[in-house]
């Protein structure tokens, strides 16, 4: 759910995958019972009802239950949610539109349930010990653990849960509000029981989303406004509390030593560091120098140039800094320059397609990115949800009702961005781009491309990353050859976020972080509702009835086959709309860290989550005191 504009491959996806588990497992019999008319009580939830772990499981398989507690894990932000920034913070309210929320605030709140990182989308009880699902699946009755507490020792009750969900739906960040659209209400029956009611056709992922939202103290907010930016530290109930901080520079989270949930099965072997510290830098090159100087200890590298050329400093050579490359086996989503179709000059699809032909990915990848990337073609990249070849009969059935409303190509092979000759100025592709502009009614006069109203065609690329400028340079040069006056508008993170949330831009870079189990989470990216919602991820302004209808098909899919067909159909319509200039993706995570950490030998497949943040290094790694002592001796 985070918007994460990135330098080359952006930060790690917070992704849900999908794997159809052993549906004959004994703890899944209740799921069948729901279909047969009986209410079901369960210790966990998943999109299609499959759970890997039984009710009496003792821990997740991928953790080290003997992992020692202690030490500091320090990093720069690699994920961001809602109002967070990679470069700064000025508020401890990270769930509203106002302000720049502090990274890591999710560590301070308990949730009803928490993710299993070795399953695609399953959640298991944290503050809730169980959930009972009504026969019609319209209501979910969560039973809370009596030991759940806020950090001041007060009891966490169902009233706090109902308050939190109701308040987030009314006053939360617009992206939260959109995803809670089909949550009808949350009511506390008593201190231990909260019932959440959903709309009849809600997405399969909405209950999972609800179960992993933070629980706030209703007593704390009885005298405070919820929807304000503030440096007051809210009362939490999670494994960490806010410690030392300096606005815009760093924030620390201190482990709660007597945390009430520490020994629950979902938490054994997790949250091992005494301190988790986020460092903020305005410039990524400066941030890299900070890492080499040991100002922070862990870094995921997102810039191929730096990974290829700068990890030869002495600490790497003598082994004090370790390098790892982890595979990414989850959907990478789609990254590209998104074209703001709310603006008249971009309303013609031929104009948008011309911009695609002007970008030379092959040259950019070879010259700037050391050949480390592949071309993105779809928002469902790196998954079997990508449309390929002509539509299947099942896809055609979904698409036929819109034959008169969508381009003919939707019923053939999906659009693929052109492959250039790698020269940086492929004449064939530029001629095609010029032809498209002419067909769209944009002539050239005195070497200037004119819009239908006679004005010169200009494009401003909105940018917050200084190090992303080289990726624009050749693209802008090619646009100039077409008579288009293109420029970069480099602004700071706060201004950037404000302009993007107001849709005040021509073109900007975005990452679509798609789940392997898409559901209601696709609304913020593609729906007409999101196109009109300030702060949504629908930067292109997509307002397409066919896409809206296909979103409902995705949400209403009863099984993986139906889901796949609906996603592929949506992919075809999206790509036919030429809403973006596809960029690139990478299927690995290059990591560098000072040799004071250890981690489980086998890492879980789904290390990051749409719901609860990073499920990897912050939570299942640990500090190795012996390694740290050896590192000190090596100074």
pLDDT in tens, 494-537: 899 899 999 999 999 998 877 778 888 898 899 999 999 988 89
Q: What is the mean pLDDT of residues 33-62?
A: 83
Is residue 369 assigned to a domain?
A: yes
* Residue 123: pLDDT band with limits 50, 70, 90: very high
Tokens of 317: 């050579």
- C-alpha dihedral (272, 274, 280, 284), degrees to nearest 10: -50
Q: Are 79 and 2 in contact (CB under 8 A)?
A: yes
Q: Residue 127's CB: how many other CB atoms inside 10 A?
A: 29
Q: What is the mean pLDDT of residues 263-268?
A: 97
**Which pLDDT belongs to residue 37?**
57
Residues 603 and 548 in one domain: no
Dihedral sign for Cα atoms in the order 381, 387, 388, 394: positive
Q: What is the mean pLDDT of residues 111-127?
A: 93
Residues 501 and 391 in one domain: yes
Residues 55 and 119 in one domain: yes
* 128-133 sheet: strands from edge to edge: 40-42, 128-133, 139-144, 193-198, 183-190
Q: What is the mean pLDDT of residues 396-425?
A: 97
Residues 564 and 614 in one domain: no
* Residue 229: pLDDT band with limits 50, 70, 90: very high
Which CATH number characterizes residue 204's domain? 3.40.190.10
Q: How far apart are CA 418 and CA 610, in angstroms?
A: 32
**Which pLDDT belongs to residue 514?**
78
Q: What is the mean pLDDT of residues 542-563?
A: 93
The alpha carbon of residue 418 and the mean position of all alpha carbons in its chain are separated, in whole angstroms, by: 28
Residues 360 and 483 in one domain: yes
Nearest to 215 by CA among 157, 267, 176, 263: 157
Helix axes 427-439, 349-358, angle to 10 degrees: 170
pLDDT digits (tens, 9 = 90+) for 432-463: 999 999 999 999 999 999 999 999 999 999 99
Is residue 321 assigned to a domain?
A: no
Nearest to 302 by CA among 537, 476, 468, 493: 468
Q: Are 25 and 51 in contact (CB under 8 A)?
A: yes
Is residue 201 assigned to a domain?
A: yes
Residues 231 and 361 in one domain: no
pLDDT digits (tens, 9 = 90+) for 136-171: 999 999 999 999 999 999 999 999 999 999 999 999
Tokens of 589: 């995570």
Is residue 240 assigned to a domain?
A: yes
CA distances from 250 to 74, 177, 445, 612 (A): 10, 29, 53, 21
| Number of residues assigned to the chain | 635
User: Who contacts 536 (Cβ-Cβ below 8 Å, separation ≥6)?
Assistant: 174, 175, 178, 524, 530
Which CATH number characterizes residue 443's domain? 3.10.105.10
pLDDT digits (tens, 9 = 90+) for 535-547: 889 999 999 999 9
Q: What is the mean pLDDT of residues 110-116?
A: 96
Overall number of domains in the chain: 2
Q: What is the mean pLDDT of residues 219-231?
A: 97
Tell the residue number behind the tokens 């975005």, with chain if given. 510
Beta strands in 240-394 (DSSP E): 240-246, 250-255, 275-279, 298-300, 321-327, 334-339, 374-375
Residues 366 and 441 in one domain: yes
Is residue 178 assigned to a domain?
A: yes
Q: What is the mean pLDDT of residues 187-196?
A: 98
DSSP codes joined into one string, 123-140: EEESSEEEEEE-TTS-EE
Is residue 186 assigned to a domain?
A: yes
Nearest to 352 by CA among 442, 419, 264, 283: 442
Strand 183-190 vs strand 193-198: parallel, antiparallel, or unpaired?
Answer: antiparallel
**Which pLDDT belongs to residue 5?**
37
Burial status of residue 352 (CB atoms within 10 A of its CB: 0-12, 13-18, 19 or more):
buried
**Which pLDDT belongs to residue 20?**
28
Is residue 390 assigned to a domain?
A: yes
Residues 253 and 363 in one domain: no
Is residue 28 assigned to a domain?
A: no
CA distances from 96 to 114, 171, 175, 176 (A): 22, 7, 9, 9
**Which pLDDT belongs to residue 372?**
87
Tell the residue number behind the tokens 């001041």, with chain if given. 152
Backbone angles phi, psi at 528, to 5 degrees: -60, -35
Q: Are 354 and 482 in contact (CB under 8 A)?
A: yes
Host domain of residue 377: 334-585
Residues 115 and 142 in one domain: yes
Q: Are 310 and 370 in contact (CB under 8 A)?
A: no
Residues 242 and 373 in one domain: no
Q: How far apart are CA 25 and CA 21, in angstroms?
A: 9
pLDDT digits (tens, 9 = 90+) for 309-345: 999 999 999 999 999 998 877 777 889 999 999 999 9
Residues 448 and 551 in one domain: yes
**Which pLDDT belongs to residue 178?**
86
At 279 the three-state DSSP class reads strand
pTM for the whole structure = 0.77
Residues 131 and 52 in one domain: yes
């Amino acid at each position: 759910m985070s918007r994460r504009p990135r330098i080359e491959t952006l930060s790690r996806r917070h992704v849900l995958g999908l794997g159809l588990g052993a549906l004959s497992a004994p703890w899944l019999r209740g799921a069948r019972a729901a279909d047969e008319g009986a209410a079901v009580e369960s210790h966990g939830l998943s999109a299609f009802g499959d759970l890997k772990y039984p009710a009496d499981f003792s821990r997740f398989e991928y953790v080290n239950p003997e992992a020692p507690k202690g030490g500091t894990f320090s990093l720069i932000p690699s994920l961001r949610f809602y109002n967070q920034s990679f470069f700064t913070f000025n508020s401890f309210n990270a769930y509203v539109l106002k302000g720049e929320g502090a990274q890591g605030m999710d560590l301070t709140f308990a949730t009803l349930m928490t993710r299993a990182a070795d399953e695609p989308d399953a959640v298991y009880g944290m503050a809730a010990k169980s959930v009972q699902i009504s026969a019609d699946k319209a209501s979910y009755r969560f039973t809370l653990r009596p030991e759940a507490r806020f950090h001041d020792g007060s009891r966490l009750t169902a009233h706090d849960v109902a308050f939190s969900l109701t308040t987030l739906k009314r006053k939360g960040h617009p992206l939260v509000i959109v995803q809670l659209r089909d949550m009808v209400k949350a009511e506390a029956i008593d201190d231990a029981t909260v019932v959440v009611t959903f709309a009849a056709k809600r997405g399969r992922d909405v209950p999972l989303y609800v179960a992993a939202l933070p629980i706030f103290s209703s007593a704390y907010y009885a005298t405070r406004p919820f929807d304000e930016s503030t440096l007051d530290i809210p009362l939490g109930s999670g494994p960490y509390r806010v410690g030392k901080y300096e606005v815009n520079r760093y924030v620390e989270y201190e482990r709660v030593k007597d945390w009430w949930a520490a020994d629950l099965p979902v938490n054994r072997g997790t949250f091992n560091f005494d301190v988790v510290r986020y460092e903020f830098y305005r410039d990524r090159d400066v941030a890299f120098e900070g890492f080499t100087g040991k100002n922070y200890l862990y870094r995921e590298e997102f810039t191929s140039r730096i990974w290829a050329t700068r990890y030869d400093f002495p600490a790497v050579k003598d082994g004090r800094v370790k390098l790892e490359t982890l595979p990414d086996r989850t959907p990478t989503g789609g990254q590209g320059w998104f074209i703001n179709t709310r603006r008249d000059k971009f309303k013609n699809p031929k104009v948008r397609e011309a911009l695609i032909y002007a970008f030379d990915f092959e040259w950019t990848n070879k010259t700037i990115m050391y050949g480390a990337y592949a071309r993105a073609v779809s928002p469902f990249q790196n998954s079997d949800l990508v449309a390929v070849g002509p539509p299947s009969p099942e896809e055609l059935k979904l698409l036929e009702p819109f034959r008169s409303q969508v381009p003919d190509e939707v019923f053939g092979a999906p659009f693929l961005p052109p492959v250039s000759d790698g020269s940086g100025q492929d004449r064939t592709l530029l001629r095609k781009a010029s032809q498209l502009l002419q067909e769209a009614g944009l002539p050239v006069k005195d070497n200037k491309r004119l819009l239908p109203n006679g004005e010169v065609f200009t494009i401003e690329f909105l940018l917050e990353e200084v190090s992303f400028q080289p990726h624009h340079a050749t693209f802008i040069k090619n646009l100039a050859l077409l008579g288009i006056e293109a420029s970069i508008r480099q602004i700071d993170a706060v201004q950037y976020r404000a302009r993007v949330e107001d849709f005040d831009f021509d073109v900007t870079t975005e990452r679509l972080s798609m789940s392997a189990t898409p559901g209601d989470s696709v609304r913020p990216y593609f729906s007409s509702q999101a196109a009109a919602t300030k702060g949504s991820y629908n930067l292109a302004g997509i307002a397409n009835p066919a896409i809206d209808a296909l979103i409902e098909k995705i949400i209403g899919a009863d099984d993986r086959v139906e889901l796949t067909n609906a996603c592929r159909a949506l992919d075809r319509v999206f790509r036919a709309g030429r809403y973006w200039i596809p960029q690139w993706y990478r299927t690995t995570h290059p990591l560098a860290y000072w040799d004071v950490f250890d981690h489980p030998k086998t890492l879980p497949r789904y290390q990051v989550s749409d719901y609860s943040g990073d499920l990897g290094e912050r939570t299942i790694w640990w500090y190795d005191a012996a390694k740290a002592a050896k590192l000190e001796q090596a100074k």
